[in-house]
Structure 1
Amino acid sequence: MNVKEVLQFVDRLVVEKTGKHLDDVQKAVVEGTWQRQTYDDIAQKCHVTEGHVGDVGAELWKLVSEALNEDIRKTNFRSTFERLNIESCSNSLNVYNINNSDNNHFCHTQALSQPNKQYQESDINTKSKSVYHDLTLAPQIINFYNRETELETLSNWILKQNSRLISVLGISGMGKTALVKRFIDLNLDQFEVIIWKSLKYPKPLELLIQDLLNIIKPEEKQTIDDQFKQLLDLLIEKKCLIILDDVQNIFTPGQFAGQYQPEYQSYQNFFTLMTEIEHQSSLILISQEQCGEMESLDEELYPVKCLELSGLYDTNILNYKGLKNQECWLNLINLYEGNPSYLKSIAISIKNIFDGDLAEFLAENELVITQEMRSHFNQLFNRLSPIEQQIVLKLSEFQQPLSRETLRESVELSSTDLINGLQSLQQRYLLAKIKQDKIMFKLSSIFRGFVKNFS
Structure 2
Amino acid sequence: MKPLPSVAFVNVSQLLQFVDRLVVERTGKHLDDVQRAVVEGTWERQTYDDIAQKCYVTKNHVGDVGAELWQLLSEILGEDIKKTNFRSSLERVYIESSDNSNIYHINGSNNNFCPTQISNQLSPRNKLYETDINTQSTSHYRDLTVAPQIINFYARQSEIQTLSNSISNDNTRLISVLGLSGIGKTTLVKRFVDLNLQEFELMIWRSLRFPKPLELFVNDLLNSCKQEAKETLDDKLKQLLDVLTDKKCLIILDDVHNIFATTQLAGQYQTEYQDYQNFFTMMAEVEHQSHVILISQEQCAEMECLDEELYPIKCLDLSDLDDVAILKGTGLKNEDSWLKLINLYEGNPVYLKSIAILIKKIFDGEVAEFLGDNSLIITKDMQYNFHQLFKRISPIEQQLVLELSKFDQPVSREYLKQSLDLSSMDLINGLQSLQQRYLVRKIKEDKILFKLSSVFQEYVKNCCLNLQP
Interval of TM-score (by shorter of Structure 1 and Structure 2) = 0.7 to 0.9
CA distance in 2, matches of 1:106, 1:284: 30
Q: Paired residue for 1:328?
A: 337
Alignment of 1:32-431 (within 5 A): 98-100=112-114, 130-219=139-228, 222-431=231-440
- Provide the aligned C-alpha RMSD in A: 2.4
Q: Deviations along 1:98-152, whole A, 9 cap, x unmatched?
A: 34388x988679x99xxxxxxxxxxxxx96x522211111000021011000000
- TM-score, normalization by structure 1: 0.73
Unaligned runs of 5+ in 1: 4-95, 113-125
One-letter amino acid of the counterpart of residue 241, structure 1: L
Letter in 1 for 2:231: Q
Question: Structure 1 residue 224: deviation in Å?
Answer: 2.3
Give the 3-state SS of the residue equivalent to 1:219 in structure 2. Answer: coil
Provide, for residues 63-102 of structure 1, a one-character-per-residue CA deviation record: whole Å limited to 9, x for no partner: xxxxxxxxxxxxxxxxxxxxxxxxxxxxxxxxx7734388
Q: Can you list the C-alpha shifts for 1:262-309, whole angstroms capped at 9, x where unaligned?
A: 100000001001111110000000000000000100111100000000
**Which digits, 9 at most, give the CA deviation of each residue in 1:362-404, with x for residues without a partner?**
1111110011111110111111111100000000011110010
Deviations 1:303-348 (A, max 9, x none): 0000000110000000000100000000100100000110000000
Q: Provide the C-alpha distance between the structure 1 equivalents of 2:111 and 2:145, rounded to a whole number of angstroms.
A: 11
Q: In the alignment, residue 256 of structure 2 is paired with which amino acid?
A: V
- Amino acid in the other structure paired with 1:422: L
Shift of 1:218: 5.0
Change (3 A) 1:105 1:439: farther
Q: Distance in 2 between matches of 1:106 and 1:275?
A: 37
Change (3 A) 1:192 1:100: farther
SS at match of 1:100: strand
1:13 is matched with: none
Question: 1:172-202, CA deviations, whole angstroms, 9 ceiling, x for partnerless residues?
Answer: 0000000000000000000111101000111
Give the aligned partner of residue 15 of structure 2.
none
Alpha-carbon contact 2:229-2:236 (below 8 Å) kept: no
Deviations 1:217-251 (A, max 9, x none): 15366332222211110000000100110000100
CA distance, structure 1, for counterparts of residue 341 and residue 372 of structure 2? 11
Identity within the alignment, %: 65
Q: What are the superposed Cα offsets for residues 30-65 of structure 1, whole Å, 9 maximum, x if unpaired?
A: xxxxxxxxxxxxxxxxxxxxxxxxxxxxxxxxxxxx
Tell me which moved more, 301-310 or 352-361: 352-361
Q: How far apart are the structure 1 equivalents of 2:377 and 2:261? A: 30
- 1:319 to 1:416, Cα distance in 2 relative to 1, 3 A: same
Q: Distance in 2 between matches of 1:220 and 1:315?
A: 49
Q: Is the 8 A contact 2:111 2:224 kept in 1?
A: no
Name the CA shift for 1:283/1:220 in 2 (closer, same or farther; >3 Å): closer
**Between 406-415 and 223-232, the greater mean CA deviation after superposition:** 223-232
Secondary structure of 1:162's partner?
A: coil
Amino acid at match of 1:283: V
Distance 1:212 1:105 in 2: 24
Work out whether residues 204 and 252 of structure 2, in 8 Å CA contact, stay in contact via their aligned partners in 1.
yes
CA distance in 2 between partners of 1:99 and 1:240 (Å): 22
Looking at structure 1, the residues matched to 352 and 388 of structure 2 have their Cα atoms a distance apart, in angstroms, of 19
Which structure's residues are more often helix, by fraction?
A: 1
User: Does the residue aligned with 1:330 lie in a helix, a strand or coil?
Assistant: helix
8 Å contact kept, 1:144–1:178:
yes
Q: 1:259 to 1:220 in 2, by over 3 A?
A: closer
For the Cα contact (< 8 Å) 2:219–2:229, is it kept in 1?
no
Say if 2:281 and 2:302, in contact at 8 Å, map to a contact too: yes
Q: Secondary structure at the match of 1:243?
A: strand
Cα drift, residue 452 of structure 1 = 0.5
Question: Which stretches in structure 2 are left out of the alignment for 5+ residues?
Answer: 1-20, 26-109, 116-125, 465-469
1:252 touches 1:258 (CA, 8 Å); kept in 2? yes
Task: Verify the 8 A CA contact 1:108 1:189 in the aligned structure 2.
Answer: no
The residue type equivalent to 2:234 in the other structure is D
Tell me, in whole angstroms, the C-alpha distance in 2 between the residues paired with 1:316 and 1:168. Answer: 23
| Residue in structure 2 matching 1:442, options 432, 451, 460 | 451
- Aligned residue for 2:294, secondary structure, equals strand
How many pairs are equivalent?
349
